[in-house]
Amino acid sequence: MSRNGQHDGPGRARRTSRYSAWSLVKNGLGAGSGWERAFRHHTPKETYDVIIIGGGVHGLATAHYLAENHGITDIAVLEKSYIGSGGSGRNTAILRSNYLTPEGVRFYDRSVKLYEHLAADLNFNVMFSQRGHMTLAHNDSSLRTMHWRAEVNKLQGVDSSVIDPAEIKKLVPYMDVSSSTRYPILGALYHPPGGIIRHDAVVWGYARSADAHGVHIHQKTEVVGIDVASNRVTGVRTADGRRISAPVVVNCTAGWSTLISDMVGVDMPVQTFPLQAAVTEPVKPFLDTVVVSGTLHTYVSQTDRGELVFGASVDPFASYSTRGSLDFVEGLAGHVLELMPGLSKMRLLRQWAGLCDMTPDYSPIMGLTPVEGFFVDVGWGTYGFKAGPVSGEAMAACIAHGKPPEIIAAFGLERFDEGRLVGEKGAAAVGH
Amino acid sequence: MMLLTCPNCGARNVSEFRYVGEAKSRPDPETATPEQWRRYLYFHRNPAGWISETWYHGSGCRRYFGIERNTVDNAQRSAAGTAGATS
Ligand SMILES: Cc1cc2nc3c(=O)[nH]c(=O)nc-3n(C[C@H](O)[C@H](O)[C@H](O)COP(=O)(O)OP(=O)(O)OC[C@H]3O[C@@H](n4cnc5c(N)ncnc54)[C@H](O)[C@@H]3O)c2cc1C
Ligand SMILES: [Zn+2]
C-alpha cells in the first residue's frame, strides 16, 4: 500500500490491470516492482459533488457504491489519518446476521450476501471464511433469547438454530461443556453462514475500486469545520487550511461522529466507548468456529495464521482513549480459561483498543438529518464492520435519491424522538 | 489500572466505581413532554475533552459524586476544577 507517492492528476483513465493468478506469477518473478499502486494520491480539488468524511469501511464502501451503482464519481473521501486506522482496522472481523429484530436481521443478512461475492466484485481477496458462529447460553434467560433469535432468523430465511451441549462438543472438542463449571453451557445459537474476514483487505479492496472509478481518497486530511448556509451544507474546512465545497457531506466517522455532527449542530444519541481486543501467538488450527459467550463477556476465533483473537464488551465508561488496560487482559484470560482450560499455556502477543460509537438501542443511525445535504452513517458500536457493504449500498442509494431506501428506513435519527427504537442489545452487546 | 479519586475515600482503582454518565438535571415529570424525556434519556454530550459527570463508588463509600474528566486522556479534576491525578 505504501509504495512511494506517484502523484497523478485528477481524472486519470480507469485502471485496467487486474489481480489474478497470472499477475501474481508475473510480478512475483519481477521482485514485485511491477505492481501498480492500489489507490492514488491526489491534490484536493476545490469542489466535489460528494464529500465523505472518514476512510473506514463505511466511507469507502459508500464511495464505491455511489460510483458503481449510481454513476456518481466526483467524490472525495477525507481521512484524518490513514484509511482503516479507525475501527475498520482494529475489529475482530466477525461477520454474521443472526440478530434479534426483523429489521436488523434483514439488514445484516443483505451484508453477508454482499460479502459472499465481495472478493469477485472488487477483484480483491478478502478471505471471507464462513466457518460458523456460535453464541453460548449459560442460563435459562439467555437460552430463551437464543430460541427467540433463532425463530426471528428463520422467518427471515437466515440459517440459525439452537443446539445442545453434545452438538457443541462435536463442533468445538476443546470446549468444557461439562456441568461442573462455574457457568455450565446449556446450549448455543448456531449460525453456519457466520465467520471471519480479512478486515484490512475489505478496506483496501473498496479503496482500490473507488479509486479506479475516479474517487479521490485524501489521507492525512482532517475535517475541522463544516460550512452551512441557510440550513444547507456547502462544504468543509480541513486542518491544513483548505476549504473544499460540496452540496453533500456524509459523516462516516464512527467513534468521532458526534464531533463531526456537532460542527453542523445535529445532536445524536451517540457516546464513544473504547473496545479492547487481544491476540495470542499462532498455534496449529484447532478451532474452526467463532465462539461467543455473553455471560463471560468474551469471544474467540482462530485466524488463518493460527492466532487466537479475543474480544470482550466495551470498557465500562465513555472515553476517546485507546490505551489498553491490565483489567481487560486479566478478565479475558480468566473467562477464556473457563471455556477452554487447555489454553492456559498460550501467550498473548498483543492487545489494542478502538473507539465505538454506541447508541441507546444498539442499532445504527443512518440517512438524512435536519441539515440539508448532511447525511449520517454512524452508531456502529461494536458491530459495524459486518455492515460495511450493505451500509455503503444503502447510503449510496439514499444520497442518489434523496431518501433512505426501505432496508434502512427503521434506522433514521428521528426514531429517538418518536420512541421507535430498534432494540438489538440482546444480539449485539458482546457478540459484535 | 486507572485511578479515580473519590471525594470521601481518595484515589481508588476505577473498577471500584460505576460510571453513571454526564451530570445533568432531570426534567420535571409533571410538565416534561415525551420528547423532553427522550432527550434526557438518550442524548448526552460526547466531547473529546473535559466533561462533568457522575460516578458511584459502589465498592467503597457507596456515594454518588461529581467529577470532571478529560475523555481524551482520562485526566481528572474535582468538580470545582482543582487537582489532576491521572492513571
Ligand atoms: C476491538 C474491536 C472489535 C470489533 N469487532 C467487530 C466485529 O467482530 N465485527 C463487527 O462487525 N464489528 C466489530 N467492531 C466494530 C467495527 O470495527 C466498527 O463498527 C466499524 O469498523 C466502523 O467502521 P467505520 O468505517 O464506520 O468507522 P472507522 O473505521 O472507525 O472509520 C472512521 C474514520 O474516520 C476518521 N475520522 C475521524 N474524524 C475525522 C475527521 N475530523 N476528519 C477526517 N477523518 C476523520 C478516522 O480516522 C477513521 O479512520 C469492532 C470494533 C473494535 C474496536
Ligand atoms: Zn468513596
- 3-state SS track over B21-86: EECCCCCCCCCCCHHHHHHHHHCCCCCCCEEEEEEECCCCCCCEEEEEEECCCCCEEECCCCCCCC
Q: Which ligand minimizes its atom distance to the CA of A202? A: 1
Tens-digit pLDDT profile for residues A70-93: 999 999 999 999 999 999 999 999
HSE-up of residue A81 (Cα within 13 Å, Cβ side):
10
The predicted pLDDT at position A8 comes to 43
- Is B2 a residue whose pLDDT tops 50? yes
- Is A12 a residue whose pLDDT tops 50? no
Distant-in-sequence, close-in-space partners of A158: CB < 8 Å, separation ≥ 6: A97, A98, A105, A109, A191, A193
Neighbours of A318 (CB within 10 A): 22
Residues 224-263 of chain A whose Cβ lies under 8 A from any Cβ of chain B: 256, 258-259
The predicted pLDDT at position A31 comes to 78
Chain B residues with beta carbon closer than 8 angstroms to that of A318: 19, 21, 46, 71
The predicted pLDDT at position B84 comes to 43
Tens-digit pLDDT profile for residues A118-138: 999 999 999 999 999 999 999
- Is B45 a residue whose pLDDT tops 70? yes
Tens-digit pLDDT profile for residues A372-402: 999 999 999 999 999 999 999 999 999 999 9
Average pLDDT over residues A24-50: 90
- 3-state SS track over chain A: CCCCCCECCCCCCCCCCCCCHHHHHHHHHCCCCCCCCCCCECCCCCECCEEEECCCHHHHHHHHHHHHHHCCCCEEEECCCCCCCCHHHCCCCEECCCCCCHHHHHHHHHHHHHHHCHHHHHCCCCCCECCCEEEEECCHHHHHHHHHHHHHHHHCCCCCEEECHHHHHHHCCCCCCCCCCCCCCCEEEEECCCEECCHHHHHHHHHHHHHHCCCEEECCCCEEEEEEECCEEEEEEECCCCEEECCEEEECCHHHHHHHHHHCCCCCCCEEEEEEEEEECCCCCCCCCEEEECCCCEEEEECCCCCEEEECCCCCCCCCCCCCCHHHHHHHHHHHHHHCHHHHHCCEEEEEEEEEEECCCCCCEEECCCCECEEEEECCCCCCHHHHHHHHHHHHHHHHHCCCCHHHHHHCCCHHHHCCCCCCHHHHCCCC
Domain contains B24: yes
Domain contains B85: no
Task: Give the predicted TM-score (pTM) of the model.
Answer: 0.95
Find the domain containing B69 and state its range.
Answer: 3-78
- Is A4 a residue whose pLDDT tops 70? no
Average pLDDT over residues A89-102: 97
Q: What number does the ligand 1 atom closest to the CA of A221 have? A: 43
Task: Confirm or reject contact between A71 and chain B (CB < 8 A).
Answer: no
Going by alpha carbons, the residue nearest to atom 25 of ligand 1 is: A56
* Cβ(A383)–Cβ(A362) below 8 Å: yes
- Is A36 a residue whose pLDDT tops 90? no
The predicted pLDDT at position A26 comes to 87
Portion of chain A with pLDDT greater than 90, in percent:
89
- Coil, strand or helix at B7: coil
Tens-digit pLDDT profile for residues A278-329: 999 999 999 999 999 999 999 999 999 999 999 998 999 999 999 999 989 9
Domain contains B87: no
The predicted pLDDT at position A426 comes to 84
The predicted pLDDT at position A432 comes to 73
Beta strands A187-191 and A133-137: pairing type?
antiparallel
Q: Which residues pair with A249 in a beta bridge?
A: A51, A374
What Cα–Cα distance (Å) separates residue A256 from each residue in A32, A289, A391? 37, 32, 18
Confidence of residue A30 (pLDDT cuts 50, 70, 90): confident
- Is A176 a residue whose pLDDT tops 50? yes
Q: Which residue has the cell 511491477?
A: A34
Overall number of domains in chain B: 1
* Ligand 1, residues at Cβ distance < 6 Å: A 53-59, 78-81, 85-88, 90-94, 222-223, 252-256, 260, 275, 277, 311, 354, 356, 380, 382-386, 432
Domain contains B64: yes
**CA A384 to ligand 1 centroid distance, Å:** 8
Listed as own residue / partner, the contacts of B31-38 with beta carbons closer than 8 Å and 24 or more positions apart are B34/A419, B35/A417, B38/A416, B38/A417, B38/A419
Gap between the Cα atoms of A231 and A379, Å rounded: 23
- Is B87 a residue whose pLDDT tops 60? no
Residue type, A301: S
Gap between the Cα atoms of A398 and A121, Å rounded: 21
Number of CB pairs, chain A paired with chain B, less than 8 A apart: 53
The predicted pLDDT at position A92 comes to 97
* Burial annotation A252-283 (CB, 10 A radius, 16+ → b, else e): bbbbbbbbbbbbbebbbbbbbbbbbbbbbeee
Portion of chain A with pLDDT greater than 70, in percent:
96
- Is A1 a residue whose pLDDT tops 50? no
The predicted pLDDT at position B79 comes to 74
The predicted pLDDT at position A110 comes to 98
Tens-digit pLDDT profile for residues A206-252: 999 999 999 999 999 999 999 999 999 999 999 999 999 999 999 99
The CATH code of the domain that includes B12 is: 3.30.2270.10
The predicted pLDDT at position A34 comes to 83
Domain contains B84: no
Average pLDDT over residues A93-108: 97
Chain A residues with beta carbon closer than 8 angstroms to that of B34: 419
Q: Which of A82, A79, A84, A81 is nearest to A53 (CA)?
A: A79
- Average model confidence (pLDDT) across chain A: 94
Instruction: Please give the grid coordinates belonging to residue A147.
Output: 430460541
- Is A350 a residue whose pLDDT tops 80? yes
Could A321 and B42 be called an inter-chain contact, meaning their C-beta atoms sit closer than 8 Å? Answer: no
Domain contains B21: yes
